[in-house]
Amino acid sequence: MLSAQQVVQYHREGYLFPIDCLTPEEVAHYRGRLEAFEAEQGDTFGRLPDLVRSKSHLLFTWMDALVRHPKVLDAVEAVIGPNILLYHLTSWLKEPHDGAFVPWHQDGTYFGLEPAEQITAWIALTDATEEMGCVKLLPGSHAIGQQPHRDAVSPGNLLSRGQTIDRKLDYDNFVTMPLRAGQISLHHTHLVHRSDPNQTNRRRIGIGVSYIPTHCRLVNDARVTAALVRGQDNFGHFDLEPRPTGNFDAGSRAAHAASVNRFFESNQRLVARRASGNVGI
């Protein structure tokens, strides 16, 4: 999928886009399955509420298929190698004119992974234009390493802790990363990025998938789960997640709840260790 020049560009700049992956028919299929599920749940359920937005590859066979799409994994493999774990997933949904945004942050802030080789594949199931709140980034900012963040929960903030980078940077020197439906972007775990509200009448849907090579491990003593999506895991740093047994069935919901709880418990332990000075920012 990627040329040697593209891989060099990713390592130099910390991001790469656009990469054509899904056909229009595939986009229609995956978006259709997501929105059909939302419609089935009714208004009281909402549009993919917080916990369902996280690690939903454990809840739905179609999401499990999406994160294992050969062209997506080919692009990821070109950067991090053939043995790939899916560490986390978040569905980024912005309704028309709803004010939802993501502040300047780094993905790895509460992941606690080393080495810092996590890569986010952002899969567009709709167009993501600048007016729709596409990702903005600071090119080359991954080179500054992990920076301190502060929690800043506020209305419309889509991040679970509202985490915002706590350092003055040249935020005027940003690059926008628009995508067409079916395209993906890649960015490094330390790349500083954000996204603004959707100012259009169209819905914006993106699936952010955090992939890591199997040799990555947690810096804290938590034991969490990850999904082996390509190759072999010869390290055993994570408990391997089961594939969903159906679509939002009881078995899948139980496995999902256990995995999500362990993930957020790990985040809390990392925050506590940083506060005590046992692990660096």
Domain CATH code at residue 158: 2.60.120.620
Range of the domain at 193: 4-276
Per-residue confidence band for 281, with pLDDT thresholds at 50, 70 and 90: very low
> Measured between alpha carbons, how far is 178 from 48 in angstroms, rounded to an integer?
23
In this structure, are residues 216 and 80 in contact, taking their beta carbons and an 8 Å threshold?
A: no
> Measured between alpha carbons, how far is 1 from 77 in angstroms, rounded to an integer?
9
Q: Which contiguous run of DSSP H or E holds residue 12?
A: helix 4-13
Tens of pLDDT, residue by residue over 70-103, are 999 999 999 999 999 999 999 999 999 989 999 9
> Measured between alpha carbons, how far is 72 from 19 in angstroms, rounded to an integer?
9
Q: Above 90 in pLDDT, residue 110?
A: no
Q: Above 70 in pLDDT, residue 43?
A: no
What is the pTM (predicted TM-score) of this model? Answer: 0.95
Closest CA to 190 of 107, 122, 111: 107
243 versus 158: the higher-pLDDT residue is 243
Furthest CA-CA distance within the chain: 51
> Measured between alpha carbons, how far is 87 from 211 in angstroms, rounded to an integer?
6
In this structure, are residues 196 and 204 in contact, taking their beta carbons and an 8 Å threshold?
A: no
As for how many domains the chain has, the answer is 1
Cβ partners under 8 Å of residue 157, min gap 6 = 101, 102, 103
In this structure, are residues 138 and 168 in contact, taking their beta carbons and an 8 Å threshold?
A: no
Assess if residue 12 is contained within a domain: yes
Assess if residue 255 is contained within a domain: yes
Q: Above 80 in pLDDT, residue 51?
A: no
Assess if residue 226 is contained within a domain: yes
Assess if residue 131 is contained within a domain: yes
Assess if residue 26 is contained within a domain: yes
Assess if residue 157 is contained within a domain: yes
Question: How many CB atoms are closer than 10 A to CB 15?
Answer: 25
Assess if residue 44 is contained within a domain: yes
Beta bridge partners of 176: 136
Tens of pLDDT, residue by residue over 140-182, are 999 999 999 988 888 888 887 878 999 899 999 999 999 999 9
Assess if residue 281 is contained within a domain: no
Distances (CA, A) of 133 to 102, 127, 128, 130, 253: 9, 10, 7, 5, 31
Distances (CA, A) of 208 to 10, 125, 150, 231, 236: 17, 11, 22, 21, 24
